[in-house]
Structure 1
Amino acid sequence: MIKVSILYPYRENGHFDVDYYCVTHMPLAAKLFGPSLKGWSVDVGINAGPPGTPPPYVAAGHFLFDSTDDFYKVSKSASEQLMADIPNYTDAGNGTTLISEIRISV
């Protein structure tokens, strides 16, 4: 199983609408990805460890797929619509993508 994470760096005075991202954008992505998508989640940054410090990332969206091939097949057709939706929740651009292999899940 693989996880595709989109990481949105924290920026002082940056705009990120977490509610829109969770309620509208991520369900849109799930719909566009279809049955190849095995699950999704959103992390919202709190801090960098010590209380009161800004988080390194304001948010991260995660998508689970059986393989990178499964992700690549659906992402190509979905990317235009998902990229067009980005200005509705952030002024930070499209974030950084990390594709990782899940080795252990409990």
Structure 2
Amino acid sequence: MIKVSILYPYRENGRFDMDYYCATHMPLAAKLFGPALKGWSVDAGINAGPPGTPPPYVAAGHFLFDSAEDFYKVFKPASEQLLADIPNYTDGGNGAILISEVRVSV
């Protein structure tokens, strides 16, 4: 199983609408990805370890797929619509994408 993570860097005074991201953008992506998507989640950054420090990322969206090929197959036709929605929740542009292999899940 692979995880596709979109990491949105923390920026002082940057705008990130977590409510919109969780309630509108991520469900839109899930709908567009269809049954190839095995699950999704969102992390909201809290800090960088020590209390009071800004987090390295304000948010991370995660999608689970059986393979990277499954992701690429559904992302390509959905990409234009998903990329066009980014300004609705952030002024920070596209996040960084990390595709990783899930080795352990509990």
TM band (smaller chain): over 0.9
Identity between Structure 1 and Structure 2 (%): 86
State the partner residue of 2:49: 49
Equivalent runs, 1:1-106 vs 2, <5 Å: 1-106=1-106
Cα RMSD over matched residues?
A: 0.3
In the TM superposition, what is the alpha-carbon distance from 1:99 to its structure 2 partner? 0.1
In the TM superposition, what is the alpha-carbon distance from 1:94 to its structure 2 partner? 0.8
Structure 1 alignment gaps of length 5 or more: none
- Taking the aligned partners of 1:104 and 1:89, their CA distance within structure 2 comes to 31
In the TM superposition, what is the alpha-carbon distance from 1:66 to its structure 2 partner? 0.2
Q: What's the TM-score once normalised by structure 1's chain length? A: 1.00
In the TM superposition, what is the alpha-carbon distance from 1:41 to its structure 2 partner? 0.1
Q: What's the TM-score once normalised by structure 2's chain length? A: 1.00
Deviations 1:29-76 (A, max 9, x none): 000000000000000000000000000000000000000010000000
Structure 1 segments of 4+ aligned residues over 2 angstroms from their partners: none
May I ask how many residue pairs the two structures share in their alignment? 106
In the TM superposition, what is the alpha-carbon distance from 1:97 to its structure 2 partner? 0.1
